[in-house]
Amino acid sequence: MYRASVGLTTNMKASATGWVARNAADLGADGIWIGEDISLGQDPFVLAAATLLQSRGIRVGTGIIPIAVHNITTLARAAVTLQEIGEGRFVFGAGIGGIQDLQRRDIKIRRPVTALKEGVDVLRRLWQAENVTRNAEILHLQDYSLRLRKPVEIPVFLGVRGPQMLKLAGRIADGVILSGPFDYLRYAIEVIDKSSTETGRKRDEVEKVVWLPTIPTFKGMKEKLAKRVVAIVVADMPPPILDMLQLNREKLERIQAQVAANGPKAAAPLIDQEIMDMFAISGNREHMVDLFDELGEMGATEVVLGPPFSGEWREAMSEIFEEIALRRGV
């Protein structure tokens, strides 16, 4: 059976993130993931620290921190600090970051796969208490160490999408954080498993966390809002992923064009149930957990609930975890 966690983003209020942290274990969640909306809302590291401090016994991870937006030593120091605060419960989730976000910050990465690989390699060496000298595209270190008395083990999960990145994750990551339509997820899990076994790793050695927008429509969240969210997700989907889908391509392109021209609200009427089920986990509690089960059968080892959070989301979250527990026979 897959693990089930709660997803937070930095653009949520402290009252909401604090509530999730304090209640996650009692709800039955196995972990909390924190996504960085770059420059929006809360600081990802302080939020992770507060979440570790407010929660009990469960794993807390960043999902994801864009690696090029921070100095590599800040990432290394923050991860060690969080691992000590959480007494071993912290997971470092990283990725290269969205192209548009990076461009807005004048960050250009010529070779993203190599940059991510080098970043992870350097972080692991620093956590192993090594002295590191390295000049690479996104980092420059000269005889730098964290002065650790003993190595610190921090699992690294990578948020990846394209085929080369998926292969890299299969080779080097402890886990991956995946997002996208169901057909794409099936493909991504296959690529990761193949890459990991080719590297001599066991098939299930790389954890697969699937984080999709979860939109419970049974506790006050309006279906219109759910459709707007999905319209945004469709609009952000790169063409190679759309090519993989068993969906009418023209319909998807119409949605993309409508979002670009008039915004997600205008595109919402074009979202039907088939598209909803492909891009999000939505509906009533039974239907949502059916979709989680489907992801589990596909090879996901963990599923993430939310955001967006709207309506009576606390009650909705509680009911979904109850349904999961029921099916686990707890």
Partner 1 sequence: MNWGLAVNVYDTVHRIVEKCVIADQGGIDWLWVTDFPAVRHAPSLAAIVAENVKRSRIGVGLVSPLLYRPEQIVQFMSTLIDNYGERFDLLIGPGDRPQLSRIGIEYGNISMLVTRLVSDVTKIRDELGQRGYDGVRVWLGAQGPKMIAASIKADGVLLNYTDPKMLKWALSILGEIPKGFQIGAFPPALITENPDCSKEYGLRKSAATVAMGLGQSVVSEFGLMDTLSAARISLKQKRSIDQDVVDAIDEATLKRFALCTTPEGACNYIKILEGIGLDMVTFGPPQGTSRKLVKNLVKTRVHWDDTV
Q: How far is the CB of 186 from partner 1 (least distance, A)?
A: 37
Q: At what angle do helices 72-85 and 44-54 cross, to 10 degrees?
A: 10
Question: Any contact of residue 47 with partner 1 (CB under 8 A)?
Answer: yes
Nearer to partner 1, 80 or 160 (CB): 80
Nearer to partner 1, 43 or 243 (CB): 43
Q: Across the strands, what pairs with 91? A: 61
Question: Any contact of residue 85 with partner 1 (CB under 8 A)?
Answer: yes
Question: Any contact of residue 49 with partner 1 (CB under 8 A)?
Answer: yes
Window contacting partner 1 (CB under 8 A); options: 80-88, 165-173, 178-186, 265-273 = 80-88
Question: Any contact of residue 142 with partner 1 (CB under 8 A)?
Answer: yes
d(CA 295, CA 158) in angstroms, rounded, equals 19
**Between 51 and 70, how does the x/- string for binding to partner 1 read (CB under 8 A)?**
--x-----------------
Question: Any contact of residue 103 with partner 1 (CB under 8 A)?
Answer: no
Window contacting partner 1 (CB under 8 A); options: 144-152, 160-168, 276-284, 301-309 = 144-152
Looking up tokens 């997803």 gives 7
Q: How far is the CB of 173 from partner 1 (least distance, A)?
A: 22
Among 22, 26, 46, 248, binds partner 1 (CB under 8 A): 46
Nearer to partner 1, 54 or 114 (CB): 54
75: Cβ contacts below 8 Å, ≥ 6 apart: 65, 67, 92, 94, 119, 123
d(CA 32, CA 155) in angstroms, rounded, equals 15
d(CA 32, CA 11) in angstroms, rounded, equals 15
Window contacting partner 1 (CB under 8 A); options: 145-153, 270-278, 286-294, 304-312 = 145-153
Q: How far is the CB of 91 from partner 1 (least distance, A)?
A: 15
Question: Any contact of residue 43 with partner 1 (CB under 8 A)?
Answer: yes
Element (H, E) at 9: strand 3-9
Parallel, antiparallel, or unpaired: how do β-strands 59-62 and 175-178 relate?
unpaired
Nearer to partner 1, 86 or 112 (CB): 86
Residue 237 backbone phi and psi in degrees, to 5: -80, 125
List the interface residues with partner 1, window 8-27 (CB under 8 A). Answer: 13-14, 18
Instruction: To the nearest 10°, report the CA torsion of 113, 114, 117, 120.
Output: -110
Q: How far is the CB of 168 from partner 1 (least distance, A)?
A: 23
Please, are residues 68 and 102 in contact by the beta-carbon 8 Å criterion?
Answer: yes
Give the DSSP letter string of 45-99: HHHHHHHHHHS-SSEEEES-EEGGGS-HHHHHHHHHHHHHHTTT-EEEEEE---H
Question: Any contact of residue 169 with partner 1 (CB under 8 A)?
Answer: no
Using CB under 8 A as the binding criterion, the count of chain residues that bind partner 1 stands at 34
d(CA 181, CA 212) in angstroms, rounded, equals 8
Residues at the interface with partner 1 (CB under 8 A): 13-14, 18, 39, 41-43, 45-50, 53, 71-74, 77-78, 80-82, 84-85, 139-144, 146-148
